[in-house]
Amino acid sequence: MRNTHLTPGFWRGVNINHNAIYVECFMDELADAAGQDPLEFRRKMLKPKHRAVLDAVAERAGWGKPPPGRHQGLAQIMAFGSYVAGCAEVSVSPEGKLKIHKIVAATNPGIAVNPAQIERQVAGSFVYGLSALLYGECTVKDGAIEQTNFDSYNVLRMDEMPEVEVLILPTGEFWGGVGEPTIGVAAPAVLNAIFRATGKRIRSVPLMHHDLKQA
């Protein structure tokens, strides 16, 4: 956290959303520099619970074998007591238009009391995470925030929402969160997929300020 001249407030997911981007996009850069597959590069360094959720999404998403014209990206993190991972599948048109087709997400919250509710929380978390990735920005002019309502602060619309497949992998032993943790993997999974689609590393968000045409 930094002390700024503006008073910040909490946002759903708090700081894990930023930290997951730093960690998981950098891990992808390291894997690329080492000439290794991003999945295998991570697997060698992860503890069992981290690796289990990552393996689950990679297997279900068909890691390394996306449909023609689509590209995949991975991310995993431990947040709010739960182990989570995501695999995003995206395409980028020659004009630079991004389409997020699908996200497979896995969560190990320890104990799963209501699996149906967990699935809805995970799917809903991607609305938050992807909205922030694509559009989330507040600007200040003359001492006031310019975005006053949803007419000036855009969020993900229904026609932009990807298919979300949720894998619930409880191992018992602990109680973790289910609403906020998977927000953190939304942005890095998509950013890593964008790199595979375009050859561009995006290190700042929101994406509305970036030209995504292939490098």
Domains annotated for the chain, with CATH where assigned, are 16-209 (3.30.365.10)
For the record, the structure tokens of 128 come out as 């938050």
Q: Are 76 and 182 in contact (CB under 8 A)?
A: no
The reported pLDDT for the residue numbered 3 is 73
Q: What is the pLDDT along the chain (215 residues), one digit of tens a residue?
A: 667 776 666 677 778 888 999 999 999 999 999 999 999 999 999 999 999 999 999 999 999 999 999 999 999 999 999 999 999 999 999 999 999 999 999 999 999 999 999 999 999 999 999 999 999 988 989 988 899 999 999 999 999 999 999 999 999 999 999 989 999 999 999 999 999 999 999 999 999 999 998 76
Q: Distance between CA 38 and CA 74 in Å, rounded?
A: 8
Name residues whose C-beta falls within 8 Å of residue 6's C-beta, 6 or more positions apart in sequence: 140
For tokens 């990679």, the residue is 58
Q: Distance between CA 58 and CA 72 in Å, rounded?
A: 10
The reported pLDDT for the residue numbered 5 is 72
E-strand stretches of the chain: 71-79, 82-92, 98-108, 140-141, 144-145, 163-168
115-134 and 183-198 helices, crossing angle to 10°: 50
For tokens 């995206």, the residue is 90
Q: Are 11 and 179 in contact (CB under 8 A)?
A: no
The reported pLDDT for the residue numbered 94 is 93
Quick one: which of 210, 187, 212 has its CA closest to 198? 212
E-strand stretches of 35-188: 71-79, 82-92, 98-108, 140-141, 144-145, 163-168
The reported pLDDT for the residue numbered 143 is 85
Name residues whose C-beta falls within 8 Å of residue 199's C-beta, 6 or more positions apart in sequence: 214, 215
